[in-house]
């Protein structure tokens, strides 16, 4: 289990823009790494659009926003285009980064149990330490809380 103040797990993931983004390449910047269940779903769309709408405030705070799900790069590209998202969406199709960050969990819907991403946001310091963890995120007002924590 990850805790605040400890080093964030390293990762390298493909992004919707064709690049590979690695945590080590972002040293010196604050990183908002948010994990979400699925592109094109209502909660995930609202969360992404809220981060998009506040991106200039995050940039002023020298902060990079990265969204992560297990969706394919093609699905990410459609999601990004449809909602004019301005930050990278990373594809963790094999789930290794989700596992490393402890967001791949058993969930329940109408009594049916299944595995999925628990909506979680990590604020990672310029030195690579976890400054803040937001677990079981409620979408409404979340991006403002993240911004306040930076």
Q: Which residues are catalytic?
A: 44
Three-state DSSP class for residue 57 = helix
What is the C-alpha to C-alpha distance for residues 130 and 109, in angstroms, rounded to an integer? 30
Q: Name 18's Cβ contacts closer than 8 Å, sequence gap at least 6.
A: none
Taking 3-state DSSP, the helix, strand and coil percentages for the chain, each rounded to the nearest 5, stand at: 30, 30, 40
Q: Name 112's Cβ contacts closer than 8 Å, sequence gap at least 6.
A: none
């Amino acid at each position: 289990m990850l805790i605040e103040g400890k080093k964030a797990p390293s990762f390298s993931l493909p992004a919707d823009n064709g690049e590979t983004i690695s945590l080590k390449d972002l040293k010196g910047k604050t990183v908002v790494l948010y994990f979400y269940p699925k592109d094109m779903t209502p909660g995930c769309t609202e969360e992404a659009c809220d981060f998009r709408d506040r991106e200039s405030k995050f940039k002023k705070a020298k902060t990079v926003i990265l969204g992560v799900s297990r969706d394919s790069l093609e699905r990410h590209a459609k999601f990004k285009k449809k909602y004019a998202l301005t930050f990278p969406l990373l594809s963790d199709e094999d789930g290794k980064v989700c596992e490393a960050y402890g967001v791949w969990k058993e969930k329940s819907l109408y009594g049916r149990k299944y595995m999925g991403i628990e909506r979680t946001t990590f604020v990672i310091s310029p030195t690579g330490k976890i400054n803040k963890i937001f677990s079981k995120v409620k979408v409404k007002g979340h991006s403002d809380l993240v911004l306040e924590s930076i």
